[in-house]
């Protein structure tokens, strides 16, 4: 069974590839129109996470973003330590 981790939580996803892709695309589209009520910008990263299960190109993109974000966080921590 497919699942994604969000922090300490694990969220189960549909077993069928077709349904996972549909869910991922819907989440991405909801994230694009995140300025509307009910939907939000949080949906776009979640859609990318869901789509990365089935598409290697999306998985590679997600991995790059995670690495860049981790480096950015580490640089911010180092800057705050240097100021203290």
Q: Are 31 and 43 in contact (CB under 8 A)?
A: yes
- The predicted-structure confidence for 3-55, as pLDDT tens digits, reads as follows 888 788 898 988 899 999 999 999 999 988 888 887 888 888 889 989 998 99
Could you tell me the pTM of the whole model?
0.73
If you average pLDDT over every residue of the chain, what do you get?
89
Backbone angles phi, psi at 34, to 5 degrees: -65, -15
- pLDDT computed for residue 36 by the predictor: 80
Report the distance separating Cα 54 and Cα 32, nearest Å: 21
Q: What domain count does the chain have? A: 1
Q: Which residues lie below 8 Å from residue 28, measured CB to CB, with a gap of 6+? A: 43, 44, 47, 48, 51
Q: Which two tokens stand for residue 56?
A: 């290697």
Identify the domain containing residue 18 by its residue range.
Answer: 3-83
């Amino acid at each position: 069974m497919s699942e994604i981790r969000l922090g300490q939580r694990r969220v189960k996803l549909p077993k069928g590839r077709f349904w996972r892709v549909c869910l991922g695309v819907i989440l991405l589209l909801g994230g694009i129109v995140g300025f509307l009520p009910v939907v939000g910008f949080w949906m776009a990263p979640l859609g990318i996470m869901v789509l990365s299960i089935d598409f290697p190109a999306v998985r590679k993109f997600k991995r790059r973003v995670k690495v860049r974000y981790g480096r950015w966080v580490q640089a911010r921590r180092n800057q705050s330590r240097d100021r203290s």
